[in-house]
């Protein structure tokens, strides 16, 4: 067998850990949701009141995105109406220091 025409498969992109973190935080509302959850568990309505100008659709999308990436947990309680609470996972808690440093940098340079 000849392998003269063999071209090794190489990834189209090189995985970058910083890029993966920014993918999680990249949404317009993600920083604000995390800011509120750093203070503790919150219900959907409370998040919506505290984050001004966020639509229910945008907030729902952001919460789902963060949940899919393992940053927060969604807890559903069988009440009428249904009660839903959101809290950070250990992965989400780890983002607290990153966001603090970004805030300090922004305060220093803007």
Predicted TM-score of the model (pTM) = 0.80
- Please give the residue range of the domain that contains residue 88: 17-109
Domains contained in the chain, number: 1
DSSP-derived 3-state class of residue 11:
coil
Nearest to 44 by CA among 87, 91, 96, 93: 87
Cα(first)–Cα(last) distance of the chain, in Å? Answer: 64
- Report the distance separating Cα 32 and Cα 46, nearest Å: 13
CA 36 to chain centre: 12
Q: Is residue 4 part of a domain?
A: no
- Tens of pLDDT, residues 47-89: 999 999 999 999 999 999 999 999 999 999 999 999 999 999 9
8 domain residue, yes or no: no
Per the domain annotation, does 10 fall within a domain?
no
């Amino acid at each position: 067998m000849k392998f003269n025409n063999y071209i090794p498969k190489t990834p189209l992109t090189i995985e970058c850990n910083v890029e993966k973190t920014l993918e999680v935080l990249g949404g317009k509302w993600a920083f604000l949701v995390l800011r509120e959850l750093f203070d503790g568990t919150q219900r959907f309505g409370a998040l919506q009141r505290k984050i001004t100008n966020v639509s229910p659709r945008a907030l729902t999308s952001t919460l789902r995105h963060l949940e899919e990436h393992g940053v927060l947990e969604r807890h559903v309680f069988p009440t009428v109406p249904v009660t839903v609470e959101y809290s950070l996972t250990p992965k989400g808690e780890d983002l607290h220091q990153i966001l603090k440093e970004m805030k300090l940098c922004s305060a220093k340079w803007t």
